[in-house]
């Protein structure tokens, strides 16, 4: 009983870790008291729901499972654990992903930092994947070499059309201004116009994303800063 209570407290603290910063960024005008009250209320509600399951867990000698919680509470947990903003994006690189072994699931798994929550079971996966793909900022770091850029189209193939279509924040990031130079030279040469500036579609095709199923409006092209919050963006 004591161990279960301790686990509930520890897990609740872990789930809510980072929630304050996210809420503060989303609601900058929210007072500190109101913010603390909201986090405290969420913490107490989660602990209460888990505590209600202690008798059943003790009787059956099993540990509480996320599926035992009400659907609305599970969704709230998924959002706290999975959603990322522009300051803490989910970066892609050629060594990060491998295709899932399960033939019935078209998705990807990550060798190092892919959220473990997505690997618990099929029900949680089906509930949490839409949140992960729609509320996470994915960043493709554009590099000067064609070999690296060829990877990005392959990455989307591993994700699968169904899941890729749920992505709502995909950033093509030229980490410094000079990274744009090869693209600028190419579009000026192709257009035979020395004043021609790269457009969003040019950058999308540059990293192998032309014709991808990610909605065009969900893709942004950034350049010129070490953090996305300080970047400039290429408009259409």
Q: Decide if pLDDT at 150 tops 70.
A: no
- Residue written as token pair 């930092």: 113
Which segments within the chain are labelled E, that is strand? 90-92, 97-99, 108-110, 138-141, 170-174, 219-223, 232-233
- Pull the structure tokens for residue 18: 């980072």
Task: Dig out the tokens for 135 from the structure.
Answer: 């509320």
Q: What is the mean pLDDT of residues 128-141?
A: 84
pTM of the model: 0.59
Lowest mean pLDDT among 36-45, 91-100, 216-225: 91-100
Residue 204's H or E segment, with its range, is helix 200-206
Tell me if 60 sits within 8 A of 114, measured CB to CB: no
Residue 84: per-residue pLDDT: 64
Across the range 156-164, mean pLDDT stands at 81
Structure tokens at 133: 């793909």
pLDDT tens-digit profile of 121-133? 888 888 988 988 8
Confidence of residue 22 (pLDDT cuts 50, 70, 90): confident
Q: Are 128 and 118 in contact (CB under 8 A)?
A: yes
Q: Which residues pair with 91 in a beta bridge?
A: 139
Lowest mean pLDDT segment, chosen from 106-110, 152-156, 176-180 = 106-110
Q: Over the stretch 39-84, which tens digit does the pLDDT of each residue have? A: 888 888 888 888 888 777 776 654 557 788 888 888 888 888 887 6
Residue 113, pLDDT score = 46
Q: How far apart are CA 54 and CA 58, in angstroms?
A: 6
Q: Identify the top-confidence range among 5-9, 36-40, 191-195, 224-228.
A: 36-40
How far is Cα 155 from Cα 214, in angstroms, rounded to an integer? 12
CA distance 200 to 206: 10
Quick one: what percent of the chain has pLDDT higher than 90?
0
Burial of 160 (0-12, 13-18, 19+ CB in 10 A): middle
Q: Which two tokens stand for residue 211?
A: 């014709």
Cβ neighbors of 208 (< 8 A, separation 6 or more) are 149, 150, 151, 152, 153
Q: How far apart are CA 201 and CA 183, in angstroms?
A: 11
Whether residue 124 contacts residue 134, with contact meaning beta carbons closer than 8 Å, is answered with no
pLDDT at 1: 52
Q: Between these two residues, 100 and 195, which has the higher pLDDT value?
A: 195
pLDDT value at 137 more than 70 = yes
Which tokens in the block code for residue 110? 């990550």
Cα distances (angstroms) measured from residue 235 to each of 31, 90, 136: 36, 23, 22
């Amino acid at each position: 009983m004591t161990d279960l209570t301790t686990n509930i407290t520890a897990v609740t603290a872990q789930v809510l870790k980072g929630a304050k910063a996210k809420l503060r960024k989303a609601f900058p005008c929210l007072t500190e008291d109101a913010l603390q009250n909201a986090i405290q209320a969420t913490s107490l509600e989660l602990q209460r729901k888990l505590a209600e399951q202690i008798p059943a867990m003790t009787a059956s000698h099993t540990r509480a499972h996320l599926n035992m919680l009400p659907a609305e509470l599970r969704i709230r947990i998924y959002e706290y654990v999975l959603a990322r903003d522009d300051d803490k994006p989910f970066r892609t690189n050629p060594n990060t992903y491998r295709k899932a072994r399960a033939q019935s699931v078209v998705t990807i798994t990550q060798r190092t930092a892919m959220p473990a929550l997505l690997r618990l079971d099929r029900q949680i996966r089906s509930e949490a994947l839409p949140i992960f793909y729609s509320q996470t900022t994915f960043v493709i770091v554009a590099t000067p070499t064609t070999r690296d850029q060829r990877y990005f189209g392959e990455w989307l193939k591993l994700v699968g059309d169904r899941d890729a279509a749920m992505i709502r924040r995909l950033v093509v990031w030229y980490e410094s201004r000079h990274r744009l130079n090869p693209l600028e030279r190419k579009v000026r040469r192709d257009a035979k116009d020395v004043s021609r500036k790269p457009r969003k579609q040019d950058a999308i095709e540059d990293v192998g994303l032309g014709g991808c199923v990610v909605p065009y409006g969900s893709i942004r092209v950034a350049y010129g800063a070490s953090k996305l919050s300080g970047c400039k963006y290429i408009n259409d």
